[in-house]
Structure 1
Amino acid sequence: MAHAHGEYYQPQPSYWPIIGSIGLFTGVAGFAAFLNGVDIGKYIMLAGIGILLFMMFGWFGAVIRESEAGLYNDQVDRSFRWGMIWFIVSEVFFFAAFFGALYYTRDLTLPWLLGEGAKGTAHTFLWPEFTEAWPTNGPQGVGGEFQSMAAWGVPALNTLILLTSGVTVTWAHWGLKQDNRQKLIIGLFLTVALGFTFIGLQAWEYSHAMSELNLTLGSGIYGSLFYMLTGFHGFHVTVGSIMLLVVLIRSMAGHFTPKRHFAFEAVAWYWHFVDVVWLGLFVFVYWL
């Protein structure tokens, strides 16, 4: 059993990390097999996701029970905060890699293919007929003709939704600090509703792009970058919405106090990070 010994906290032995590792390995292996045309790959991937969900439900439940039992001291609170900070830092670099790929492709590789700069010889010797500007699926026209997604439709609406959700989650935080349970619950409910609305609109956007614009993952480098950037962001919004829903349920159950509510703060930090990433996506993927 977990114990708090003065300044230090001694957690109980846990089997959840190994279960999480098995789920991650199974999910990634299944996804790789699916991308390579192995029929059973999608089922392996779904099994891995199921294992991860089981791990998250069990492990987070154990942490919540220990927290509500008063086992966590200030040292544990600092550990949680630093853990969340470094997790968000790792997410910053994760998205930075994809934004870097977008910059390299759009501002370096494309000019070379058009004959500019010291590496522009590819245009002369390989693809002299290539004259396209961004967005492009490359000199070979991989995936066929497509249309890019307009910025001032669903993407602009989703931008407004996420910015509004940043306001509502902050309003909920104020309610918690003021020990106003009603304001906390209403703010969280609005944030969760906005998050899932964003997800639904993005799903509709994907359906429209694939069926009517012929914009798919196979639409060359533009299609790949579009879906990798917006898809991973959508995954983060989904995870964030689920975490906010859990925090909402806990708030309705009477959890959290004005002075001790790190779980709420961690999710709020994550949500604001997701908001900032979307602003970058809207400007550099949709607008410019």
Structure 2
Amino acid sequence: MTNLSHNHPFHLVSPSPWPLIISLSIFNNLICTVSWFHNFYIPSLSLSIPGTLICMYLWWRDISREATYQGCHSINVFKGMKMGMILFIISEIFFFISFFWAYFHSSLAPSIEIGQSWPPKGIIPFNPFDIPLLNTIILVSSGLTVTWSHHALINKNFNETKKSLFLTIFLGIYFSLLQLFEYINSPFTMADSIYGSTFFIATGFHGIHVIIGTLFLLICFIRLLKFHFSSYHHFGFEAASWYWHFVDVVWLFLFISIYWWSF
């Protein structure tokens, strides 16, 4: 039941400690990681990352309560959340455009500092038809399974929704493990000219987005098991599926331009 004490259909968010706490936690993650890169390990890093994950869980818990039990998400609130998610994804698109811009700036007109060749001399690029192609198949398949899950939810087939969503999460974890294996066996590093830096920053940030998307879908799976979603009231899951499709599309551009085109 919706229990609103005001005379408008919008949700006025109550004071929450999580934005401040998670901001400080992420800032601490940054400081610890940069120190680690300079061979100065800070022990709090082992506590900071779990702390960030706990804050994420508690923040998600509060939002789930507002959406499911407190009835705070009216139609107008849903419209605002959808527009916010769309604008967020657009901002992410421009975020990755900057990486592609840096990559093509150096690859289309290689400078004399890197031998006027691409990839630079001494760089052995990955075979695009090895792990990268397998990861492409995995992500495209996960896009199909999350769409299958969404349509099953709309059609009130909750068993199919759970099966396909679990399969999507499994594929996301599988992708991350394969990318970790690829990084461990990489013949070049981030310090190897502009090729190494653009390769690792573009694919690395995409990998972080895959991990975030997998966590997003995992929270949706937990909420699904707790019957938080219905066939018409499931924006949390819908937003997760939009985000996952965005991750899929970015990977296709990465595979074509960074892996296949440079091979």
Provide the TM-score with structure 1 as the length reference: 0.84
Residue range with higher mean Cα deviation, 154-163 or 80-89 = 80-89
Quote the offset at 1:55 in angstroms.
1.8
Structure 2 CA distance for aligned equivalents of residues 61 and 51 of structure 1: 15
Identify the residue that residue 259 of structure 2 maps to in structure 1.
Answer: 286
Gaps of 5+ in 1: 114-126, 138-144
d(CA) in 2 for partners of 1:73, 1:79: 10
TM-aligned CA deviation for residue 87 of structure 1: 1.3
Alignment partner of 1:258: what SS?
Answer: coil
Measure, in 1, the Cα distance between the counterparts of 2:258 and 2:17. Answer: 42
CA distance in 1, matches of 2:76, 2:84: 12
CA contact (8 A) 1:27 1:47 kept: no
* Structure 1 equivalent of residue 137 of structure 2: 160
Cα 1:86/1:4, change in 2 over 3 Å: farther
Asked if the contact 2:138/2:175 (under 8 Å) is kept, the reply is: yes
Matched residue, 2:219: 246
Q: Please state how far the C-alpha of 1:44 moved relative to its aligned partner.
A: 4.5
Bigger radius of gyration among the two: 1
Aligned residues: 257
Change beyond 3 A, Cα 1:3–1:13: farther
Checking the alignment, whether the CA contact within 8 Å between 2:32 and 2:41 is kept in structure 1 is no
- d(CA) in 1 for partners of 2:4 and 2:120? 58
Q: 1:246: how far off?
A: 1.5
Task: Determine helix, strand or coil for the equivalent of 1:9.
Answer: coil
Q: 1:7 aligns with which of 5, 9, 20?
A: 9
Q: TM-score, structure 2 length as denominator?
A: 0.91
- Between 1:24-33 and 1:94-103, the stretch displaced more is 24-33
**What percentage of residue pairs aligned between the two structures are identical?**
38
Per-residue CA deviation, residues 133-169 of structure 1 (Å, 9 max, x unaligned), is: 21116xxxxxxx4411110001001101111111111
Q: Which has the higher contact order (CA 8 A, sep 6+)?
A: 2
Structure 1 residue 107 and structure 2 residue 117: aligned? no
**What is the CA distance between 1:36 and its match in structure 2?**
3.3
Hey, what does 1:54 align to over in structure 2? 54
1:20-99 alignment to 2 at 5 Å? Answer: 20-40=22-42, 43-69=43-69, 70-99=71-100
Specify the code of the residue in structure 1 equivalent to 2:66.
Answer: E
C-alpha distance in 1 between matches for 2:164 and 2:135: 19
Aligned with 1:268 (options 231, 241, 244): 241
Name stretches of at least 5 consecutive residues in structure 2 with no aligned partner. none
Selected match of 1:135 from 82, 104, 119: 119
RMSD in angstroms over aligned alpha carbons?
Answer: 1.9
